[in-house]
Structure 1
Amino acid sequence: MKLLLHACCGPCACYPAEKLLVDGKAFDILYFNPNIHPYKEFKRRLNALRELCEKKRYKLIVDKSYPLETCVQGMLDEPVIRCAYCYRVRMRYAAQYAKENGYDAFSTTLLVSPYQKHELIIQMAEEAGKEFDIPFYYEDFCKGYQRGVDISLELELYRQPYCGCVFSERDRYEKKPKVKLD
């Protein structure tokens, strides 16, 4: 089986790539993340993934397009489920790319993070797989989260402090008023 592995960043790709190799699965890594804000952060995460792929000799496919306006508008149109929109855009792109380029299945490194909404990622990926007639390969990469952290620290990869979108950046750094308890 030849797998296309969508990657959001270098650190999140560490464990899934290692696990796939150990399991004898052939894969290429795809970077497509128009949700990442600001643009400097988009580039920084891409560079960390490039660094991982160079050090480990993984094949990396990069879509350098940055349709931020479209992505942000989509998230504004679906404020309650903006994560669903974001996952859908990336999983649809990965599924379509995998189908058009002869892969047998696709997956994503988003599944390594305990901070992501796994059921929603799986739902969006399975819908994309059906739409483009290509299987979504599910594996619970989250159990290797700490191993991925260790690899990324060992390789001195840039580790980001938020998921990537402008809303998660705000939520991460916004100063919340302290609630006084009586």
Structure 2
Amino acid sequence: MKLLLHACCGPCSLEPTRILRAAGHDLTLYYANSNIAPAEEYAHRLGTLRTWAGGEGLPVVEGPYDPAAWEATAGRVGEAALAAADGDVLRVATHPALREARCRACYRLRFEEAARVASERRFDAVGTTLSVSPYQFTEVIREELERAAAAAGVRALFEDYRPFYDEATRRSRATGMYRQNFCGCRFSEAEAAAERAERK
């Protein structure tokens, strides 16, 4: 199957690509991540992905980087959640219900873009590496991937890669791959920092 695989970063791509290639799929990685801020972080993750993928013989296609579109959708939802928590970043970080709507809006924007490109370039299906992370909303990822694929007229190939997270972590550390310590958006960076401070 010719598969366009939405990739959030290098470390999260390791195990999904291994599994999908072993299953015989023809992969192209699609980096559509307007959520990532600042631009330097976006470029660092893209560079890490390209370097690793080049060594694996995997093509990488970069989608448009449009932080303004992200802010107008998921960013607006994130601001509403923060307001509901009276500006308490840690409260948002530790209460999934306050984060889920923002993450859903973020998935939707990125998957719609990936599915559109998959349809235009005649891929058989679209998938994502996001489900490797235990910190994501796996069922929401499935719902949004399937919704975007159906709207674009392509197949959704969803897999729950969470059982392979530890191996992906081990492999990325063993190879010295850049590993970010937050999901990507400005909200997640603040939430991750608040959680680390709370643990100390």
CA contact (8 A) 2:118 2:126 kept: yes
Alignment partner of 1:168 is 2:188: yes
SS of match in other structure, 2:156: coil
Q: Percent same amino acid among aligned pairs?
A: 36
- Match of residue 27 from structure 2: 27
Amino acid paired to 1:66: Y
1: distance between equivalents of 2:163 and 2:196? 32
122-131 or 75-84, which deviates more = 75-84
- Match of residue 94 from structure 1: 114
Using the size of structure 1 for normalisation, the TM-score is 0.91
Q: Once superposed, what is the RMSD of the aligned Cα atoms?
A: 1.6
Quote the offset at 1:177 in angstroms: 8.7
Using the size of structure 2 for normalisation, the TM-score is 0.84
SS of match in other structure, 1:174: helix
2:145 aligned to 115, 119, 125, which one? 125
User: Runs of 4+ in structure 1 displaced over 4 angstroms?
Assistant: 175-178
Alignment partner of 1:62 is 2:82: no
Cα displacement string for residues 47-94 of structure 1 (whole angstroms, at most 9, x for unaligned residues): 11011101211111112x321122112124323411111000011011
- Match of residue 171 from structure 2: 151
Mind listing any 5+ residue stretches in structure 2 that lack a counterpart? 82-100
SS of match in other structure, 2:155: coil
Higher helix share: 2
CA contact (8 A) 1:51 1:157 kept: no
Quote the offset at 1:155 in angstroms: 2.2
- Match of residue 110 from structure 1: 130
Mind listing any 5+ residue stretches in structure 1 that lack a counterpart? none
Cα displacement string for residues 154-174 of structure 1 (whole angstroms, at most 9, x for unaligned residues): 221100000000000011113
Amino acid paired to 2:134: P
